[in-house]
């Protein structure tokens, strides 16, 4: 959905004409725009300069541009251009996606665990490509998984593909991280215990935990940890076991339950090591990946029994607060 925004009509980078606001986050906004010479429609992320908080936003912005280009997988939104205006405004031109997030899709009538599992399997492909290069996403959640339909009107084939979004807080092995060791970085519902206590301690197994949270929800209809506040949620993540999943069902369901429990082991070395290992485990249960079903016809199966929690931005937590969790 687009709406009016303060940048409508503005020319950015001497080549992108802003058309409408698409969405606003904690550190910037994304607009629909077009290249004034080629006419190509793009998604244009803009970070306005000013203040200490904007310095953090700029650092994350630059990291996102660098990591996306570094990984360069078709399941990651393509970076087309990036630059900085004379007033300090940063901009990033990306391929324009048509569709909705995994979180939005899950609220539709008829959404099923079977369909959700196929989405999870698909997003593991770009995540595995990132892990192979030593990149850890650190904020994998349904809001950062996009179901994009390549529109025939722009030369697409109408097929729906899964895209992994937002590498703004990813750990990049090529760079000296600016993240303090006493800060947890991520979204509480999906954050691994080691990530909550030390953002620099993350490994690909930390992203595997986040995948495990999504799998748990697909199986149980609720999240493994969802307390009344982000702080209390992380306290539970770090200090309490989750409710066990039911073990009823056929052999494949039981195997998926066992895999999900492995993903949610509080000891990272006891989880599948990375997204590639998780792909192998899922394919051993269900067979190789198949194409996603059509957008308007999710597969048959039991509908999910509960909604995702409210959208939360990635957060940071200082060491003295974390010390009280455990």
- Give the chain's domains with CATH numbers: 11-95 (3.30.200.20), 99-323 (1.10.510.10)
Q: Are 304 and 103 in contact (CB under 8 A)?
A: no
Q: Cα(129)–Cα(124) distance, rounded to whole angstroms?
A: 9
Output the six-digit token pair for 142. 């349904």
Q: Cα(185)–Cα(315) distance, rounded to whole angstroms?
A: 6
* The pLDDT of residue 323: 28
* The pLDDT of residue 151: 65
* The pLDDT of residue 153: 55
Three-state DSSP state, 61:
helix
* The pLDDT of residue 292: 53
* The pLDDT of residue 302: 37
Q: Are 186 and 197 in contact (CB under 8 A)?
A: no
Which residues of the chain, if any, have pLDDT below 50?
1-4, 51-53, 181-182, 294-326
Residue of 77, 87, 74 whose CA lies nearest to 45: 77
Three-state DSSP state, 301:
coil
* The pLDDT of residue 181: 46
* The pLDDT of residue 43: 94
Catalytic residues: 139
**The whole model's pTM is what?**
0.81
Q: Are 167 and 140 in contact (CB under 8 A)?
A: no
Three-state DSSP state, 49:
coil
Residue of 60, 21, 16 whose CA lies nearest to 36: 16
Q: Are 181 and 75 in contact (CB under 8 A)?
A: no
Give the H/E segment covering residue 234: helix 230-239
């Amino acid at each position: 959905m687009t709406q009016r925004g303060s940048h409508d009509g503005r020319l950015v980078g001497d080549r992108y004409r802003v058309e409408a606001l698409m969405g606003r986050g904690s550190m910037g906004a994304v607009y629909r725009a077009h290249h004034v010479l080629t006419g190509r429609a793009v998604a244009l992320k803009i970070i306005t300069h000013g203040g200490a908080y904007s310095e953090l936003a700029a650092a994350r912005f630059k990291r996102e541009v660098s990591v996306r280009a570094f990984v360069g997988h078709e399941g990651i939104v393509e970076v087309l251009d990036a630059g900085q205006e004379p007033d300090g405004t940063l901009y990033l031109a990306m391929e324009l996606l048509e569709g909705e997030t995994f979180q939005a899709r899950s609220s539709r009538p008829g959404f099923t665990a079977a369909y959700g599992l196929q989405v999870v399997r698909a997003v593991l492909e770009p995540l595995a490509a990132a892990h192979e290069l030593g990149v850890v996403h650190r904020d994998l959640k349904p809001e950062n998984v996009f179901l994009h339909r390549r529109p025939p009107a722009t030369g697409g084939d109408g097929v729906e593909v899964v895209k992994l979004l937002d590498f703004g807080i990813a750990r990049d092995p090529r760079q000296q991280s600016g993240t303090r060791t006493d800060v947890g970085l991520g979204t509480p519902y999906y954050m691994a215990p080691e990530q909550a206590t030390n953002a620099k301690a993350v490994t690909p197994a930390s992203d595997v935990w986040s995948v495990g949270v999504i799998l748990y929800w697909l199986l149980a209809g609720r999240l493994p940890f969802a307390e009344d506040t982000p702080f209390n949620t992380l306290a539970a993540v770090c200090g309490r076991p989750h409710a066990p999943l039911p073990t009823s069902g056929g052999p494949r369901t039981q195997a998926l339950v066992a895999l999900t429990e492995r993903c949610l082991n509080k000891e990272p070395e006891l989880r599948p090591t990375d997204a590639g290992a998780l792909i192998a485990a899922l394919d051993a249960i269900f067979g190789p990946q198949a194409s996603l079903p059509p957008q308007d016809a999710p597969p048959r199966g039991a509908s999910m029994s509960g909604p995702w929690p409210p959208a939360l931005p990635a957060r940071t937590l200082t060491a003295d607060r974390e010390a009280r969790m455990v």
